Amino acid sequence: MKEYRVLSPTAILGYGFPEESFRAGLARQPHLIAVDAGSTDPGPYYLGAGVSFTDRAAVKRDLELMIEAGLQLDIPVVIGTAGGAGAQAHLQWNLDIILELAQEKGWRFPLAVIHAELDKETVLKAYHEQKITPLHPAPAITEEEIRAADRIVAQMGPEPVMAALQKGAKVVLAGRAYDPAVFSASALLAGFDKGLAIHMGKILECGAIAASPGSGSDCLLGTLREDCFIVEPLNPNRRCTPTSVAAHTLYEKTNPYILPGPGGVLDLRETTFTQLSEQAVQVAGSKFVPVEPYAVKLEGAKKVGYRTVSIAGCRDPIMIAQIDHIVEAVRERVADNFKKYGYDYFLHFNIYGKNGVMGDLEPNSQITSHELGIIIEAVAETQELANTICSFARSTMLHYGYPGRVATAGNLAFPYSPSDFKAGPVYNFNIYHLLEVADPLALFPAEIIKVGEGQ
């Protein structure tokens, strides 16, 4: 029977995996080891600032095991969304780790690097040609927002990875990529069905999260056949069930039946999930429906200022009863104190114990806690101004004489000295749009680096 086996060691490169599970996966003679290295989930900072949310030493540990195994078995290793967000800085960060490992281990292999960051002129040109549309409920794009973005990436489909593999790459390091792309590209080259290959990639991309009990730091094996695929954990303490696998299909998705991606949608309306053995689930009936014109997702982040935060607690019931009033009074005092300078800043009090987690979505308006956690946050154009606003709000709140106060020594309990933390630049997502492209490869230039030869 024609089969294509894909080993997914972990949900995110750097989240780790037990070596025992990984060895059990290698013993199944996979045709590919693939891993997703990123996500928009940790928020806009990492894309905007060009840094990874995963730790360098942890990423290096995972890559050492994966690439060593790939070279030994002579199978490709494919990494998607390098460095967490897949822009140029992230790609370079991840590339440096691979080159460092290669030098330490004496590896020699052809490495493909696929770029996914777009320059603003390319995006502006597409915008003026009306090839960019918002992904509801994101706001419409403007020329100003495109120019304001610090980094813009496009999410590649499997095609650029397929092209890199065809050029003989043993390791493929891809910038921002559709999660299933890195798991499905080599199987698509081998002629397997796209709907099944992409759906299998979608389940494999989170490692053993699709098993029960689930884990983002353990391995999952996918076996693609001509008319179905099978997923199974490699840790004997986990099993896949139709519910655990199907439930993963709906994770983080708006509609689990119709899943849009580069160049088309995955249609799962006729997909079946069947328990095949104690640990394995067979999936069949998933279809890929191409959508014309081919479109990829754009993600952009822009800097909106610098942040300073101060963390404090409050245990005084007289103050807790008036916390909303006190926050407003402190806010007004800050505004009044600096009014002659016309400072532009954002000042926010996040009160844990009173809508600190849900804000406006919180149905419970009554404070029932005997203590509150208070985070004072200032964001301004410069770090110095953020420091000034946060510091002044903190000292004002500490000594504010609210009605009925008996605790005249101070209103706040600070767990730390210094009490204020300079958090650096702050970014917002400002582009989350679809871009039509004539050629799935056009936005994703690739190069082959001969690792270990003359470097």
Among 106, 137, 342, 403, the residue binding other proteins under the rule CB under 8 A is 137
Residues 308-347 that bind other proteins (CB under 8 A): 346
CB of 355 to other proteins, least distance (A): 8
- 254, 368, 408, 417: which one contacts other proteins (CB under 8 A)? 254
By CB under 8 A, residue 89 contacts other proteins: no
Within residues 51-70, the interface with other proteins by CB under 8 A covers none
Contact call for residue 42 and other proteins (CB under 8 A): yes
Q: What number of CA atoms fall less than 13 Å from residue 363's CA on the CB side?
A: 0
- Shortest reach from residue 252's CB to other proteins, in Å: 5
Contact 323, 354 (CB under 8 A): yes
Separation CA 371–CA 326 (nearest Å):
15
Q: How far is the CB of 390 from other proteins (least distance, A)?
A: 14
Residue in 29, 213, 226, 251 binding other proteins, rule: CB under 8 A = 251
Does 44 sit near other proteins (CB under 8 A)?
A: yes
Site pattern 205..244 for other proteins (x: CB under 8 A): -------------------------------------xx-
Cα distance from N-terminal residue to C-terminal residue, the chain = 43
Window 290-309: residues binding other proteins (CB under 8 A): 304
Phi, psi of 280 (to 5 degrees): -110, 145
Tokens of 254: 């708006």
- Nearest approach, Cβ of 297 to other proteins (angstroms)? 9
Q: What residue ranges in 62-206 does DSSP mark as E strands?
A: 77-80, 109-114, 132-134, 151-154, 171-174
Shortest reach from residue 427's CB to other proteins, in Å = 7
Please say which residue, 284 or 448, places its beta carbon nearer to other proteins. Answer: 284
Binding mask 358-397 for other proteins (x = CB under 8 A): xxxxxx---------------x------------------
Rounded to whole angstroms, the Cα distance separating 126 from 144 reads 14
User: Can residue 348 be called a binding residue for other proteins (CB under 8 A)?
Assistant: yes
Q: Answer yes or no whether residue 350 interacts with other proteins by CB under 8 A.
A: yes
- Pick the closest to residue 32 from 6, 12, 10 (CA basis): 6
Give the separation between CA 28 and CA 297, rounded to whole angstroms.
35
Q: Which amino acid, one-letter code, is at 256?
A: P
Q: What are residue 382's phi and psi, to 5 degrees?
A: -125, 160
Mode of pairing for the β-strands spanning 32-36 and 77-80: parallel
How far apart CA 266 and CA 358 sit, in angstroms, is 33
135 binds other proteins (CB under 8 A): yes
Burial class of 148 by CB neighbour count within 10 A (0 to 12, 13 to 18, 19+): middle
> Which among 101-109, 123-131, 196-204, 427-435 is the span making contact with other proteins, rule CB under 8 A?
427-435
- Residues 312/374, Cβ–Cβ less than 8 Å: yes
What is the C-alpha separation between 196 and 72, in angstroms, rounded? 28
Point out which residues bind other proteins (CB under 8 A). Answer: 40-45, 135-138, 242-243, 246-247, 249-257, 268, 271-273, 304, 346, 348, 350, 356-363, 379, 426-429, 432
